[in-house]
Structure 1
Amino acid sequence: MKKRPRHVLSRLPGSTAIKQQQLPACQLRLSAARVLSVFFTLALFFLSLGVILILSAKSVKEIEINYTEMCADCAKLREKAYNFDRECTCTIPFHLPEKMQGNVYMYYKLYGFYQNLHRYIRSRSDSQLLGENIKDVENCRLFEKSHNGTPIAPCGAIANSMFNDTIILSYKLNSSVHIKVPMLRNGITWWTDKHVKFKNPSSKNLSNAFAGTTKPPSWPRPIYELDEEDPGNNGFINDDFIVWMRTAAFPTFKKLYRRLNRIQYFTEGLPAGNYSFNITYNFPVTTFQGEKAVVLSTVTWSGGGGLFLGLAYTVTGAMTWLAFFSMMAIHLKLKKKKIFFLQL
């Protein structure tokens, strides 16, 4: 006769609140009215914000001067004849039809310049730009060292192709007097750029700190002499250099160059009248069939004159509102059917 096992294993779950699913719980049950009210509120919010952003962008005053063709003689002289040691300056007069109120910013704009190429973006040395090791040029493809083996500072393709046209804005006060519009070259970068991403070597004398290195091939002067007027704006923390090193996502882009110093005749902005750009042509564009332009623009609380953000909110609001009306129509149709069957 077989003996019964002392302990019989059971496949039943244990008698606990978790295993028996007896814990208190709540289930979210959204009624049709609540769902429709949420969609209606979101649609109204997105549409309102989109319209406000579009109207704000439309209020931005902007003027763009393309000087590629206007400075064509300079371009031919410097690029086709390869006479890059000779300075070439062209003057471009223009008329400002209405006053630019408030803060005014000057940008340079490039057409057809691809800063988004992978090899171009990777051609830089972050440890060098942080001032930790200025001779670290390992990642700077093609622009690591000079022909005699001297490390380049700053190295890489991005730094070597830095925009270096000089743009001066003049205002025609009357028929015989032209004055230079005061523009500031500082304050055009982010705080994190100068205090986190870019730092100079720890030395009081920059020329000594960069000893044993050489300038990029396309540069007229070394990194520690970029700004002759402001010694504190030299080295890796130079504002123009930092702005250029922030690569653009599209082949047509503009970068901040100067901002208006609101003093004397320009306390309220740029008055309407006759102006001129005095441009020293240095940056070549005909080699890659590109173009150059100068942009003067005001800004608003929402930024510049771009319509993308406003249009994005408007389209999102319109689609949400369409979804609201579609769901409401389906809800009403199903409700009528339910009432009809209940009456039967």
Structure 2
Amino acid sequence: MPDDIPKLPRQRGKKNQPKDTAWKQQKLPALRPHYSITSAIPVTLITGLATLAMGIALFFGHQGSLEQEVLYTNCTLPNGTQVERVLRSEMGNETFQCAYNIILDQDYTEEVENLEADIISEIINNPSFQGDIKFYYGLNKFYQNNRLYFNSRNDQQLRGKINEIDGCDPLQYVDVNGTKVPIAPCGFVANSMFNDTFQLFYMNGTINGTTRVPWTTRGVLGETEMKRKFRNPVRAANQTLCDVFQGTIQPPAWRYPICQLGVNSTDPDVGIGFENIDFMVWMKVAALPKFRKLYRVLNKQVDMFSNGLPRGTYQLVINYNYPVDMYDGDKSFIIASENWVGPRNLFLPVIYLVVGTFLLLVTILFILMWLKQRLSRVHPT
């Protein structure tokens, strides 16, 4: 049925009319660059020099970062016996203790007992590893970037809501006599937590004695990240942490419940439960199959270690709890002296050097092409 209502023409008033300006009428001048060899030469030259300079700076910066790595996949027992790649079936609930001697500064070969007191003082005041000393553990061939693996967790549970287990399949709960008991912490990531522990002793610390290297957890993780992402459940004044976690069960691969995590640690301020520093570090999954994670930082408030790690012999004692035979991986412990560039890694400097060199070669090619064009204009055929 036709519409009998007449349609009035739309009146455009001045209030709806854009102002007659270059901006509102889209009359601004546009830049239309004309690319040529002449304009490309300064761009590639400046970019190449800047990239090459950054690569050189990073290279020498990383050269100043020292590292000492101990590969301990095959455990060396304190009596010198070596256990080849400890199998998961061999471990059970047993802990193997491994011991390794580390020499910092290869030039230091004398026994401290035979040195004068002033020479001992000089060795301590001129350490082999200076600056910020950090201790890492490393794993190889461990794919934490697998989608099914790193999605198997529940961040709400890690904030104290222990009954939140959605997303942790298949490690959400355990069926106990027909009752679904939630796993805390749930998921693949928590179940595979790294649980080797380390102690480092300075063998030349005192005459005929050893000194344990002091470690701290300060600086391992940011305070904001720790408080926002990891919190133990709220408990009453008369409750212990294990009382709060009643009604849950530990992951299948764990020996002890979450409430006992960190209770027997020899390091101060390591935290317990969800707020355990080792647990929090592990829950930050790595992007590559070969990775290292920060374990501890040198406590430089102790006089002997105020300038870093003194030169001499050290003994690394490892409680071997974490088997890697199921995926044919390797484990390592790293002592790192870091400067402004961070841990020693030559990947980024090499990339900068390669790109900078490539751009300079392209610049030389452009200059040759430009000269050829100029010569052809001066001497036309």
Q: For 1:252-291, list aligned pairs within 5 A.
A: 252-262=290-300, 263-291=302-330
Q: Is the 8 A contact 2:74 2:84 kept in 1?
A: no
- 1:168–1:82 Cα change, 3 Å: closer
- Which one-letter code corresponds to 2:60 in the other structure? L
- Residue 237 of structure 1: CA displacement? 2.8
Match of 1:339 in 2: 378
Q: TM-score, normalised by structure 1?
A: 0.84
1:235 is aligned to 2:282: no
Which of 130, 134, 151 is the matching residue for 1:101?
A: 130
- Residue 233 of structure 1: CA displacement? 1.6
Instruction: Give the CA RMSD over aligned residues.
Output: 2.6
Match of 2:115 in 1: none
- Residue 201 of structure 1: CA displacement? 3.1
Partners of 1:115 and 1:320 lie apart in 2 by: 36
The worse-fitting range, judged by mean Cα deviation, of 29-38 and 136-145 is 29-38
- Residue 208 of structure 1: CA displacement? 4.0
- Residue 64 of structure 1: CA displacement? 0.7
1:36 is aligned to 2:41: yes
- Corresponding pairs, count: 322
| SS of equivalent residue, structure 1 residue 41 | helix
- 1:291–1:145 Cα change, 3 Å: same
Partners of 2:85 and 2:303 lie apart in 1 by: 35
- Residue 220 of structure 1: CA displacement? 2.6
Which of 73, 87, 106 is the matching residue for 2:83?
A: 73
Partners of 1:111 and 1:175 lie apart in 2 by: 39
Which of 147, 166, 190 is the matching residue for 1:159?
A: 190
The gaps in structure 2 that reach 5 residues or longer are 1-19, 77-81, 107-127
Which of 96, 111, 116 is the matching residue for 2:140?
A: 111
| SS of equivalent residue, structure 1 residue 240 | helix
Partners of 2:170 and 2:91 lie apart in 1 by: 21
| SS of equivalent residue, structure 2 residue 31 | coil
Match of 1:251 in 2: 289
Partners of 2:281 and 2:202 lie apart in 1 by: 26
- Which one-letter code corresponds to 2:42 in the other structure? S
Match of 1:120 in 2: 149
| SS of equivalent residue, structure 1 residue 325 | helix
- Residue 340 of structure 1: CA displacement? 3.5
- Which one-letter code corresponds to 2:92 in the other structure? N
Q: For 1:283-322, list aligned pairs within 5 A.
A: 283-322=322-361
| SS of equivalent residue, structure 1 residue 146 | strand
Partners of 2:376 and 2:163 lie apart in 1 by: 79
Partners of 2:27 and 2:378 lie apart in 1 by: 37
Q: Is the 8 A contact 2:157 2:165 kept in 1?
A: yes
1:45 is aligned to 2:50: yes
Q: TM-score, normalised by structure 2?
A: 0.77
- 1:22–1:170 Cα change, 3 Å: closer
Partners of 2:373 and 2:262 lie apart in 1 by: 73
Q: For 1:132-147, list aligned pairs within 5 A.
A: 133-147=161-175
Q: Is the 8 A contact 1:75 1:281 kept in 2?
A: no
- Which one-letter code corresponds to 2:146 in the other structure? L
Q: Is the 8 A contact 1:74 1:88 kept in 2?
A: no
- Which one-letter code corresponds to 1:220 in the other structure? R
Partners of 1:280 and 1:250 lie apart in 2 by: 26
- Which one-letter code corresponds to 2:88 in the other structure? E
| SS of equivalent residue, structure 2 residue 313 | strand
Q: Is the 8 A contact 2:38 2:370 kept in 1?
A: no
Q: Is the 8 A contact 1:74 1:90 kept in 2?
A: no
| SS of equivalent residue, structure 1 residue 313 | helix
Partners of 2:48 and 2:234 lie apart in 1 by: 55
| SS of equivalent residue, structure 1 residue 81 | helix
Q: For 1:165-176, list aligned pairs within 5 A.
A: 165-173=196-204, 174=206, 176=208
The worse-fitting range, judged by mean Cα deviation, of 211-220 and 281-290 is 211-220
The worse-fitting range, judged by mean Cα deviation, of 120-129 and 214-223 is 214-223
- Residue 210 of structure 1: CA displacement? 2.7
The worse-fitting range, judged by mean Cα deviation, of 250-259 and 28-37 is 28-37
Match of 1:210 in 2: 245
CA offsets, 1:181-202, max 9 Å, x none? 1111342113442133333334
- 1:334–1:203 Cα change, 3 Å: farther
- 1:147–1:320 Cα change, 3 Å: same
- Residue 215 of structure 1: CA displacement? 1.6
